[in-house]
Chain A
């Protein structure tokens, strides 16, 4: 499909074609040459697992177990490829669709569903896997990521040369977020501070019902240079290329080279959320076109052809995927209603008279009613 402007798909960094063939790229192939069969299978495994997770979560929503679900279907390569380049001590600021990143970072995926179940506004401790909570205000977290990177600078953890210490920050957001003021302000601050932050934009071509042509006139990657930030446009359905460009950006950040803007050109194969109906604004033909470019398919094809994915491997991965799905299903269905008074927890970090008083009031109020039923 030929598109123009921000939906043009030419000139993308690519290392793996849609049919699963390796292609050479002078700058980026070297960044993947150390990835052996195990490393690639690990990426493949994560992609399969996150898709199973995503499918299960969608089903759970359709069964009334979740109020909402935002599927990452089709974006597995961009997320897992980039995440696999991260060090444990790097810090990630996702938006709300980066389930693949979370899985690669080692989160218990059942935690992610708490937000969508309506029992938690977060769901996990960000400091445990150096992965921030999902931010629902579009683009807002790009500033947090930049500020975090500015703190890393002040910690002196940039350019030491020690890979165990040099730290980078990654902010993930979509095409729609590039129109938001906060995203652009984040680019300003990152640039003038030379902050060690990577802006990873997944251009999945749709912000709910609006194509990227509503957010920009030119490819999104052209934004970076406008702020003085080096920028690269990558095939977001190519896990190897996604990995490679991210590795480069992280190295730049860690070494004191400052921020990078990565546009991963991908496709949102599912709906915006389970409340959305894409049949109202895009064609089945377009969806079919992108199904042919499925990120998992191409990696599988490559691995199988390279003899790096046997039936045993596949069985193990499928079993793991199934177990993951069952795990999140079980955990989610067991999530009960939080205690009423929990709404008063953590409003402030220090004592607050009014919150305490209102908690007490509501406790007494609820207590004044006869117990329900007879149990």
Chain B
């Protein structure tokens, strides 16, 4: 059966890319032997005779004389097994019988595998190799693509060394950096991130890294920086506006709908959670606070308190703290999940504050330890911060008992709702000059109302009343402080 082999134009010398076919020495039907010169071609360098790689019968001349063709172009087709041809005798193969007449010649530079390729898809000749259409596709199931061309730090000292290292270099994105040597806790970060940390004043070593292998990323630094800053209460866009401003007026102009967001949302949630969980009981007491008001006036003149705001609220706070000191069981919370009552060893005194955005209850940490002056400072600061809307979440959390100063609005008293997580809240009403029985006679005295709401799950009426009574007693006669503190 006929077997046709094509002879492709080889690179006749060191990188030439094309040649002109000058003269054919054979014609269709001629017998050719291996290495018989069959065509003369002209290259940029010289005139070259090309010998046939095959023995057989010329089947077709593929490139006519005078044509210029590129390296790799088929020149001639030779039937190397013409035995089936009707008229022709089997061609004698004197020299080349055992030359396995493969497809095109396998070039050492080409992609053909040893001796088996008959697809014709091999490159013939040397010189500029066809680089291929584009990038090779990678495997879909990834093997560890080697990360570093420069090779890993082959750390094998000593004669037993087979350089036993993985090619994946430490520090590359696809693999984790080597763990820091024991004893070193210094951060890993790339130069731009280090620069950023420096600019933001972030200590890299204190940042929690989330990058592979414990690398501190840019995001880590930014997040750390933000967390350290006091956060504005508002976290929604448009939070700076009075919350009504975020409402939309109905088409008929008779209603404004305002989405429940931000502080309003949180307040609502807190109220609901508190009011419908803790059974609230409120006890009331009306008291003569003339002496306390005189104390306030005297403190205002006191040089020590010169730079501070001294208000009746300060004295009420101090009084409550002392009452809590005498009745620590009120400084607790009901842990429903654990079925436990948690008594706090500290007093974080919450002060309900009305701000443009709504009600917030920041607390003064460890108020029980503070001197009057410190308490005054804390109150001042707290108020300023709250009004500026800069109260941080940590200041809002972990309160243990709260005072709400309804008197600031001229209200006598109320039934305050507990701050969630607390067991008592004291409402301090307005101070008014009122007729009072003082030393047996009707006199004009400074009078106010106190109200204490408490969580009846853990605070009985007796406890709540006693606490309120203590507060009242101190306010009626501040010198009681000397006796109880």
Q: Mark A264-304, 1 if CB is under 8 A from B, else 0.
A: 00000000011111011000000000000000000000000
Compute how far the CA of A118 lies from the CA of B179 in the bound complex, rounded to whole angstroms.
45
What residues of chain A lie closer than 8 Å to B112, measured between beta carbons? 336-337
Contact with A65, one of B105, B142, B154, B167 (Cβ below 8 angstroms)? B105
Residues of A in contact, count (CB < 8 Å): 45
What residues of chain B lie closer than 8 Å to A68, measured between beta carbons? 13-14, 126
A368 touches B145 (CB 8 A): yes
What residues of chain A lie closer than 8 Å to B407, measured between beta carbons? none
A67 touches B126 (CB 8 A): yes
Query: Which residue on chain A has the smallest CB distance to residue B49?
Result: A62
Given known A-B contacts A55-B35, A333-B115, A351-B162, A64 and B138 have beta carbons under 8 A apart: no
A63 touches B50 (CB 8 A): yes
What residues of chain B lie closer than 8 Å to A160, measured between beta carbons? none
Given known A-B contacts A277-B46, A351-B162, A356-B154, A333 and B11 have beta carbons under 8 A apart: no
Contact with A63, one of B105, B136, B165 (Cβ below 8 angstroms)? B105
Given known A-B contacts A64-B11, A275-B14, A357 and B165 have beta carbons under 8 A apart: yes
Chain A nearest CB from B117 CB (Å) reads: 10
Which residues from 105 to 123 on chain B have a C-beta closer than 8 Å to any C-beta of chain A?
A: 105-115
Q: Mark B165-178, 1 if CB is under 8 A from A, else 0.
A: 11110000000000
Which residues from 306 to 333 on chain A have a C-beta closer than 8 Å to any C-beta of chain B?
A: 322, 325-326, 329-330, 333
B420 at the binding interface (Cβ < 8 Å): no
A354 at the binding interface (Cβ < 8 Å): yes
A279 touches B99 (CB 8 A): no
What residues of chain B lie closer than 8 Å to A273, measured between beta carbons? 13
Chain A nearest CB from B127 CB (Å) reads: 8
Contact with A64, one of B8, B161, B166 (Cβ below 8 angstroms)? B8
B53 touches A325 (CB 8 A): no
A348 at the binding interface (Cβ < 8 Å): no
Compute how far the CA of A280 lies from the CA of B107 in the bound complex, rounded to whole angstroms.
29
A358 at the binding interface (Cβ < 8 Å): yes
Chain B nearest CB from A57 CB (Å) reads: 11
A59 touches B51 (CB 8 A): yes
What residues of chain B lie closer than 8 Å to A334, measured between beta carbons? 100, 114-115
B139 at the binding interface (Cβ < 8 Å): yes
Chain A nearest CB from B113 CB (Å) reads: 6
Given known A-B contacts A64-B10, A277-B45, A368 and B139 have beta carbons under 8 A apart: yes
B105 touches A64 (CB 8 A): yes
What residues of chain A lie closer than 8 Å to B96, measured between beta carbons? 326, 329
Which residues from 97 to 154 on chain A have a C-beta closer than 8 Å to any C-beta of chain B?
A: 117-119
Other contacts beyond A59-B34, A337-B111, A360-B151: 15, CB < 8 A: A63-B7, A63-B50, A64-B105, A68-B13, A334-B115, A336-B112, A337-B113, A351-B162, A353-B163, A360-B146, A361-B146, A364-B143, A364-B144, A368-B142, A369-B138
